[in-house]
Amino acid sequence: MRPVGFSTGALACSDFRQGLAMMRGRPFEAVELSALRRIELPRLLDALGSLDLSPFHYVSIHAPSRCESNEEALIWDQLQEKIRPEWPIILHPDAIYDFGLWRELGSRVCIENLDKRKPIGRSARSLRRIFEQLPDASLCFDIGHARQVDSTMTEAYLILREFGSRLKQVHVSEVNARSKHDPLSFTSVLGFREVANLIPDSIPLILETPVLESGMDREIEKVREALPSQRNAMVA
């Protein structure tokens, strides 16, 4: 089966310890440590040495989604100094001011496609220009963002076809008209299935669905329905 886990931010906002505690005891193989807000990053980075991440085969960290231009160099310095080299750094392209800075981190930078609020990063065409600036960067494919931008899943198909070789992880949630993350609905499950065959079984699925601890197992079931492994699909 595909490796699955949650973003700590989806489960407990800025309380990454609580998010990890909610995942404990469940067979999750992947986790994203979230620091979406600039003020959250130092506390997360300082705590890394005390966090038990041994259950997870895959760990990524989500960099702040917004920052001022005069903060970018400090964020970059903190991340490259304290994050393990094998951990992808999930980065919103609209938070980049100096592409040359992030280019130095090569494939550790994992660019996320964005929702319809954002001026860039929503389409394959826009991502192409970003990857021209970051030729070694990888891709965090947010399937909920892609469906919100184009509910026919055509843009999702184009992104995966062109940049599938860069794919490092997939963000999974339903993204509503206000660009907020929701649990998966029946229609989003059907939409996601349209491109499931373009996502290799080895790619971790990171849920960004805001659910209570009591709803985590059901949400995982829905994700398995939405993005079944290619192996299982062949057997069926």
The proportion of the chain whose per-residue pLDDT surpasses 70, expressed as a percent, equals 97
Judge whether 94 and 119 are in contact, CB under 8 Å: yes
DSSP letters, 108-151, are GEEEEP--TTSSSSSSHHHHHHHHHHSTT-EEEEEHHHHHHH-T
Q: Please write the tens of the pLDDT for every residue from 196-213.
A: 999 999 999 999 999 999
Q: Please write the tens of the pLDDT for every residue from 73-86.
A: 999 999 999 999 99
Confidence (pLDDT) at 100: 97
The angle subtended at Cα 93 by Cα 57 and Cα 163, nearest 5°, is 65
Which pLDDT band, with edges at 50, 70 and 90, does 186 fall under? very high
Q: How far apart are CA 216 and CA 202, in angstroms?
A: 21
The tokens describing 175, both together, are 């993204």
Judge whether 201 and 2 are in contact, CB under 8 Å: yes
Which pLDDT band, with edges at 50, 70 and 90, does 233 fall under? low
Q: Quick one: which of 31, 28, 3 has its CA closest to 87?
A: 31
Confidence (pLDDT) at 1: 85
User: Is the pLDDT confidence value at 234 over 60?
Assistant: no
Start-end of H helices in 167-226: 186-193, 216-226
What integer best gives the mean pLDDT of the chain?
95
User: Is the pLDDT confidence value at 232 over 70?
Assistant: no
Q: Please write the tens of the pLDDT for every residue from 41-58.
A: 999 999 999 999 999 999
Q: How far apart are CA 38 and CA 220, in angstroms?
A: 29
Q: How far apart are CA 88 and CA 62, in angstroms?
A: 8
Judge whether 120 and 85 are in contact, CB under 8 Å: no
Judge whether 122 and 93 are in contact, CB under 8 Å: no
Architecture of domain 4-235: Alpha-Beta Barrel (3.20)
pTM: 0.95
Domain-by-domain residue ranges, the chain? 4-235
